[in-house]
């Protein structure tokens, strides 16, 4: 009998802790939403997210990112100042372990779907010039080759990296584990390292 009572008490306490955690997570998310430059209805994030400089970010309606979403608008690094801008459209879905880093501009259109373990960046950490190599990697300047523009209805597969200065056209499909270093035509399937056109959808 005592064991049953003890189990009920433990279960009750566990449920109370869960409810408190849910309330805390809800309050934190509501506080974060007020800091964005713009946020639409239906915005949701999974657990363990990390957001740097939300005032430089805009989100449309029905945005969802699963657990461990990391998005950074970097305004200063190694005494250089930047004016980053991240714009994400309506009905955009990210799965787990996404990392977005911006010092210039990253824009994602409407109805885009992203799998897990994806890296999107508009900058490089240093360059390959010999005088850059005398510095430890952590001390090298951030350099952008231009914005990343991902247009409407794009599907990005698992483990993809999208690098700076790239535009991905409407309806494009990026195959698993690709590294996108150049523009992707609309209505095409690309894959590989670096990514190349595999198929044109007609």
Residues tagged active-site: 125
What is the three-class DSSP state of 179? strand
Rounded CA-CA distance 132/201 in Å is 42
One DSSP character per residue, 122-171 reads S-EES-S-GGGTTS-GGGSPEE-SS-EEE-TT-EE-TT-EE-TT-EE-TT
Tell me how far apart the alpha carbons of residues 114 and 104 are, in angstroms, rounded to a whole number: 21
CA 134, 135, 141, 142 dihedral sign is positive
């Amino acid at each position: 009998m005592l064991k049953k009572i003890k189990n009920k008490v433990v279960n009750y306490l566990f449920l109370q802790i869960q409810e408190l955690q849910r309330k805390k997570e809800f309050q934190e998310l509501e506080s974060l939403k007020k800091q964005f430059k713009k946020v639409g209805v239906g915005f949701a994030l999974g657990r363990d997210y990390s957001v740097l400089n939300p005032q430089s970010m805009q989100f449309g309606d029905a945005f969802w990112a699963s657990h461990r979403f990391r998005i950074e608008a970097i305004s200063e690094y190694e005494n250089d100042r930047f004016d980053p801008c991240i714009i994400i459209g309506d009905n955009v879905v990210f799965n787990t372990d996404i990392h977005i880093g911006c010092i210039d501009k990253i824009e994602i259109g409407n109805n885009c779907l992203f799998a897990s373990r994806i890296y999107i960046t508009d900058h490089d950490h240093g360059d390959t010039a010999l005088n850059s190599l005398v510095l430890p990697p952590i001390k090298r300047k951030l350099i952008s080759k231009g914005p990343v523009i991902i247009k409407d209805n794009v599907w990005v597969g698992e483990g993809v990296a999208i690098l700076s200065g790239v535009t991905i056209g409407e309806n494009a499909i990026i195959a698993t584990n690709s590294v996108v270093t150049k523009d992707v035509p609309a209505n095409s399937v690309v894959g590989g390292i670096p990514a190349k056109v595999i198929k044109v959808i007609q």
